[in-house]
Amino acid sequence: MDFDKLTTVMRLLALDAGDRIMEVYGAEDFEVRSKSDASPVTEADEAADALISAGLRAAFPEMALVTEEQAETHGQNVRTFLIVDPLDGTKEFVQRRGDFTVNIAYVEDGVPLRGVVYAPAKGRLFYTTADGRSVEETGPFGADPGEIHPIGVNPMPDNRGLMVVASKSHRDAATDEYIGRYKTRDMTSAGSSLKFCLVATGEADLYPRLGRTMEWDTAAGDAVLRGAGGEVVRFDDHSPLGYGKPGFENPFFIAFAPGVLLARDAD
C-alpha cells in the first residue's frame, strides 16, 4: 500500500463527504428512513457513501471495499481491505447533536493500520499520517493540510481517578456496572467514533463498549487510537480486537490508554 497516497485520499474524501453531510444537516428538513435492521438512514448517509466509495475505488481499484451502506459488500471474506462508515452517529445527526463522524480506514491482515475520523459539525479532524502516527488537524480545512498537532494517549492515567467516555445513545446498565468497577474522577459522553479520539488525545482514559457494533463503526477510530499509543481489546479475553470477522460484526470491546489497569487485572 502507498501510505502517502492513502493518507491524502482518505483525508480529502472525508472532508468532501463532511461538506456534503453538512449541506443536508443545514437544511430545514430531511427525510429519515429505517433500514432492515431498524437503524436510521438519511440522504446524507447515501450521498457521503457514494462520494467516498467512488473516490476509493478510483484511487485503489484492486483493493476490497466494505461500506455500511452497500449490503453487497458485507458478504466478503477478506483480511486486507478499505472500510467505510460514511456517517457514523446517524441518530446524533437526526437529532442535530453534532456528534457524528465520517470514518474511513485501511485494514491489513486484520489490523486497522490507517484511518481518518472527521466530525464536520465540531470541526475536528483526526487521522493517521503515512508513517502511522496519529494527528489532529485544525481548520479551516482545505486541499492542503493546515496546522497539524501530534496526539497521544494519557501516558500516566491515574487509576485512582480515571476519565471515562461512554456512548451517548447506547448507554445501558451493563456498561454502568462495568464502569462502576473503576475509580473514576469524571465521565463524559460522546456519539460515534469520537469516543476513540477522546482517548487518543488524552481527553479520556477508558472507553468500554458493551453493545453491538460493526467493524465500520470502529476501524477508523481504532486506527487513530492505536496510532496515538492506545489499545483496543475484546471485552471477554482482552485479546486485540481483530478485523475481517464473518459479517464484520464486533464483540464487546474496551478502548483504553495502556496505563489503565483493566478491571480483571485490577481485581
State in words which class domain 3-150 has: alpha beta
Domain 3-150 shares a fold with domain 162-266: no
Given CATH 2.40.30.10, say whether it is the number of domain 162-266.
Answer: no
- 189-239 tens-digit pLDDT: 888 899 999 999 999 999 999 999 999 999 999 999 999 999 999 999 999
The grid coordinates of residue 122 equal: 465540531
- 89-126 tens-digit pLDDT: 888 888 888 889 999 999 999 999 999 999 999 999 99
Among residues 105, 102, 122, 124, the alpha carbon closest in space to that of 45 is found at 102
Query: Domain boundaries in the chain?
Result: 3-150, 162-266
Q: Determine the Cα–Cα distance for residues 71 and 67; give it in Å rounded to an integer.
A: 8
* Contacts for 250 with CB less than 8 Å, ≥ 6 apart: 212, 213, 214, 215, 217, 218, 241
Q: Kindly state the average pLDDT of the residues 14-18.
A: 98
Q: Please give the angle made by the CA atoms of 204, 206 and 210, to the nearest 5 degrees.
A: 135
What DSSP string runs through 1-18?
Answer: --HHHHHHHHHHHHHHHH
